[in-house]
Amino acid sequence: MLKTAAFSFYVLFHPIDGFWELKNHKEKSFGAANLILAVLCLFNVLSIQFTSFHYGVLDRDNVNILINISSFVLPLLAWSVLNWALSTLLDGKASMKQIWVQSVYSLMPLLLSIPVLVIASHIMTLQDSAFYYLITSIAVLWCTFLFLFGNMTIHDYTMTKTVVMTLFTFAGIAASIFIGIILFSTFQQLISFITTVITEIRFMP
């Protein structure tokens, strides 16, 4: 599993070959991906603690680790589910598990940038912030790049189709959030209706 996790460094520079290998020839890639995600969450929490004050979170007292972690995990989960749901309809070749693995591996640049940023925050003043944010933007761009090529490889898509699928997935996520909210509020009303009826019956003269 560790070997597969270490394979992510190869994926960083050879996304097409790398993701193909990962999908078809690597063992325990699901566990490896979860390991990487765990490390990412850990790094992110540690960075709140160790980033220098002038680049860090102003209000450290109000940081909620659970919210912080779920801000990584929940979007990934939504992405995997929705991307799988849509790609199966449009002859994608990957399973949900494979999409999950691919998305986590695509976050590697972000993971690597965190320690660099933490160290940089102890070297740079706010005047050098351009360089600091350059690191962040490189990481984000690299992640996007890996995401697109990874998704293209595992689904055996063309680039155009991948981009269109990505947009569809985002739309799908928005729609599912919308439906989720509607369901939530409907159930809330249903429950309150039932409890009201029960109360009425209990106190009936």
Interface residues with other proteins (CB under 8 A) are 52-54, 58-59, 123, 125-127
CB-nearer residue toward other proteins: 13 or 53 = 53
How far the first Cα of the chain sits from its last, in Å, is: 67
d(CA 151, CA 114): 24
User: Which lies closer to other proteins via its Cβ, residue 56 or residue 109?
Assistant: 56
CB of 122 to other proteins, least distance (A): 9
- Looking at the Cβ atoms of 133 and 145, the one nearer to other proteins is 133
CB of 49 to other proteins, least distance (A): 14
DSSP string, 109-138: HHHHHHHHHHHHHTT--GGGHHHHHHHHHH
Provide the angle, in degrees to the nearest 10, between the axes of the packed helices 29-50 and 65-89.
Answer: 150
Residues contacting residue 99 through CB under 8 Å, at least 6 positions apart: 79, 80, 83, 84, 87, 151, 154
| CB closer to other proteins out of 61 and 200 | 61
* CA-closest candidate to residue 83, choices 72, 93, 73: 93
Does an H or E element contain 58, and which?
none
Closest approach, Cβ 126 to other proteins, in A, equals 4
Q: How far is the CB of 66 from other proteins (least distance, A)?
A: 23
Question: Nearest approach, Cβ of 121 to other proteins (angstroms)?
Answer: 10
- Alpha-carbon torsion 80, 81, 84, 87, what sign? negative
- For other proteins, the closer of residues 64 and 127 by Cβ is 127
